[in-house]
Amino acid sequence: MPRRHPKKPPKDLDISGNLRLLTELESPLDPTALFCRPGPVELEVGTGKGMFLTSVTLACPDRNFVGIEVSAGYARMAASRLASSNTANGLVIHGDAMHLVRHSLPNKSLSGLHVYFPDPWWKARHRKRRILNPEFLEHAGRIMQSGSHLHIWTDVEEYFYEATGAVNNTRLFNEQCDEAPGGPNATYRTHFERRTRLAGAPIWRAVFERNETPPQKHRLVTKRLS
């Protein structure tokens, strides 16, 4: 389902404390340096309108959360939600997630990774653009700390089994377990989840735990965007 045009933040709302541009960040990037407070850092890939990022920062004040969003409009929208909630433990980076994990984030720098309803790129010639590909997942294992969790949700069954199979092939994660869905009265984690559940469509969910196997195939190659 195509994205709707994002709403612009209110003109009087200062989102500068909750929005960064990937082109302006150092490489390598210490994600803890993005915050003026200590705490483990988790990353959401494709933060969209910012529903998950806003709710999780309020629910887990002892942890810091970063969202990466390729759309400038949605990045600003998510940052405005964070600014409105007045939390100090959440921010959005506008930029490409693959560049961030491949060229910016050091080994073992994240304590969690969330990928909810990534673009399935339906056309066969576009499948190579899917974010949950073997290279991304190898880098995910590189940047995640042992014992941290990778969460994957999608409403596309074929993509789910392709992605979870690729995760298992890295040998960097323990075997998947199904992540329990929320009950009928549970709050929604993302806007896509709300839309999908209200339509009565199924959602496939899995969570993986990073094991202690060292990554072999990929390493950090710093490259700053210009």
pLDDT in tens, 153-169: 999 999 999 999 999 99
User: Per-residue pLDDT for 226 more than 70?
Assistant: no
Average pLDDT over the chain reads 90
Q: Give me the sheet containing 110-116, strands edge to edge.
A: 19-21, 90-94, 64-69, 41-45, 110-116, 144-154, 204-209
Q: Which two tokens stand for residue 17?
A: 């404390």
CB neighbour burial string for 110-130, b if at least 16 within 10 angstroms, e if fewer: bbbbbbbbbebeeeeeeeeeb
Q: Chain centroid to CA 172: how far?
A: 18
Q: Which of the four pLDDT bands, split at 50, 70 and 90, describes residue 193?
A: confident
Strands (E) in the chain, as ranges, are 19-21, 41-45, 64-69, 90-94, 110-116, 144-154, 204-209
User: Per-residue pLDDT for 140 more than 80?
Assistant: yes
Q: What is the dihedral of CA 59, 35, 47, 120, to 10 degrees?
A: -120
pLDDT for 1: 45
33 vs 225, higher pLDDT: 33
- Catalytic annotation, pick one of 30, 62, 119, 155: 119
Rounded-to-integer distance, Cα 111 and Cα 48, Å: 21
Active site annotation includes 119 = yes
Strands (E) in 5-143, as ranges, are 19-21, 41-45, 64-69, 90-94, 110-116
Bridge partners of residue 68, in order along the sequence: 45, 93
User: Per-residue pLDDT for 184 more than 60?
Assistant: no
Instruction: Say which residues have a Cβ less than 8 Å from residue 125's Cβ, sequence separation at least 6.
Output: none
Tell me, which fold does domain 16-209 have in CATH?
A: Rossmann fold (3.40.50)
Rounded-to-integer distance, Cα 45 and Cα 98, Å: 9
pLDDT for 48: 95
89 close to 35: Cβ distance less than 8 angstroms: yes
Q: Which of the four pLDDT bands, split at 50, 70 and 90, describes residue 177?
A: confident
pLDDT for 124: 78
